[in-house]
Amino acid sequence: MRFAVVDIETTGLYHQGHGITEIAVVHIDGIERKMVFSRLLNPKRAIPKSITHITGIDNSTVSGAADFRDIANELEPYLKDRIFVAHNVNFDYNFLKASFEQIGMPFKYSRLCTMRYSRKILTDLKSHRLKNVCASLGIENTDEHRAGGDALAAAKVLLELMSRDDTGILDNLLKQNKGNAIIPPAIEPDQIKGLPQNSGVYYFYGAAANPIYIGKAKNLKKRVLSHFTASGSTRKKQIFQREITNIAYTETVNEYEALLLEDAEIKKYWPKYNRAQKERVSAFAVVPYKDQLDKTRLAILKTRDRSDALAWFNTHHEAKVWLFKEMIDCGINPRRAGMYCPEDLEISDTEVKINDFINRRQEELKNSYVLVLDSFSKTTFGIVVKDGKYRGYGHFEDKDLNIESVETQMIVAPDSSVARAVIRKMLRDEKVQKLAI
């Protein structure tokens, strides 16, 4: 087998917005290894001081170096017809893939990750960073954090691991190369293969005990894999490649339950990469008010809490669409909410109708009920609304429900904009029944 062991130094962790400052390629043919390419590159952007502190490469070091475009044609033959090898291969591969494709050159090679290989061979080693693997194997790296030194070290690691591989691990890795190349090095392929194709919630773990990311899915296997497909195209995907050490999941009976469980779990653990869900602290409420002429009107406000809210929505547009339809259906002039009223619409504009609408909505919000959806299991999935507020969900043994039986079977969860959105969606679902309790 012919290998091209590659290492690059860069201005940052992800290729979008960053560039390559140095590259080295070591060829392995059989047991022979040879440095065939080593070059400093001008990344066409400033090198952060934190990077200089690690690599020793600063702006002056690369000021007279060539651009990647200038050396691409020279570099390409050293990679051609070889297996692309690197320690944490996705990082180097994706940087180079982006650089080649930016100048219109194709880039597609079989890949091998020496970090993944070392996890298979050196099973007792706690950390599989290149420095730790070299120390474990007695390999000296005299030029650490420089492309040439790290490429030679990775080549020595590969040869040493191959000499200890007496069960065909390398052959299996190469056979599974297409799938493994996009999976984080710490994740075993069997973990991915074992994921169900049902709805549920999945958890990405790093070194700490709590998850670093929580997500929902209609199809757990497909959704988890989507995080690693086209790996490296975004900063988050590269962070996942580096940090994910384990994947767990919880199956749900349907997507509604997955939405609610994800929302509750994010609020419980506050994973650092669930930024969007954590920042959703306010929503849009439809509220009544009196104008200067003591005339009742309706408004849509972005707020965290309003005790007089008639309805809640995640977006202003969603609230506006709902309110316009409700006002037309109830015979209320949309101008009462500051919205356009079609000229051909014959509609009255009375205090009676708008107050009737407000009173009816307020009474509805005081109701207690369960929204149930039959599943194929022995129990029925349902969402519990008590006194107009979301209280939780559960799997109920029968539909003869009352407040006592519901409270003993349900999973208590906090009210939120996500839960309100699920309730509105279920109320529009023809398969859902609304049972008073």
378 and 352 part of one domain: no
- Joined together, the tokens standing for residue 156 give 């020595």
Can you tell me the distance from the alpha carbon of 26 to that of 3, in angstroms, rounded to the nearest whole number?
8
Residue 272 has pLDDT above 90, yes or no: no
Q: What is the pLDDT of residue 162?
A: 94
67 and 167 part of one domain: yes
- The model's pLDDT over 312-357, given as tens digits with 9 standing for 90+, comes to 887 899 899 999 999 988 888 898 999 888 776 777 678 899 999 9
- The model's pLDDT over 117-155, given as tens digits with 9 standing for 90+, comes to 999 999 999 899 999 999 999 999 989 999 999 999 999
213 and 309 part of one domain: no
CB 199 within 8 A of CB 257: yes
Can you tell me the distance from the alpha carbon of 417 to that of 389, in angstroms, rounded to the nearest whole number?
11
* Mean pLDDT in residue range 363-381: 76
Structure-model confidence comparison of residues 249 and 402, the more confident one: 249
* Mean pLDDT in residue range 76-94: 93
Name the least confident of 17-31, 86-100, 421-435: 421-435
197 and 64 part of one domain: no
173 and 296 part of one domain: no
Name the least confident of 138-142, 291-295, 408-412: 408-412
Can you tell me the distance from the alpha carbon of 274 to that of 209, in angstroms, rounded to the nearest whole number?
16
Can you tell me the distance from the alpha carbon of 225 to that of 240, in angstroms, rounded to the nearest whole number?
12
Q: Where are the beta strands (DSSP E) in 109-253?
A: 111-113, 200-205, 211-217, 246-251
Helices 89-102 and 68-79 pack at an angle, to 10 degrees, of 120
* Mean pLDDT in residue range 190-197: 86
Cβ neighbours of residue 336 under 8 Å, at least 6 residues apart?
296, 297, 298, 327, 349, 354
- Joined together, the tokens standing for residue 136 give 């474990």
| Residue 281 banded pLDDT, cuts 50, 70, 90 | low
249 and 356 part of one domain: no
Can you tell me the distance from the alpha carbon of 205 to that of 376, in angstroms, rounded to the nearest whole number?
32
Residue 391 has pLDDT above 60, yes or no: yes
Residue 12 has pLDDT above 80, yes or no: yes
| Residue 182 banded pLDDT, cuts 50, 70, 90 | low
Instruction: Give the domain range for residue 209.
Output: 189-275
Can you tell me the distance from the alpha carbon of 287 to that of 283, in angstroms, rounded to the nearest whole number?
12
Can you tell me the distance from the alpha carbon of 310 to that of 299, in angstroms, rounded to the nearest whole number?
10
- The rounded percent of the chain whose pLDDT value lies above 70 is 91
From 243, 275, 307, the end of a domain falls on 275
Total count of domains within the chain: 4
150 and 9 part of one domain: yes
137 and 230 part of one domain: no
From 365, 397, 420, the end of a domain falls on 365
* Mean pLDDT in residue range 387-403: 80
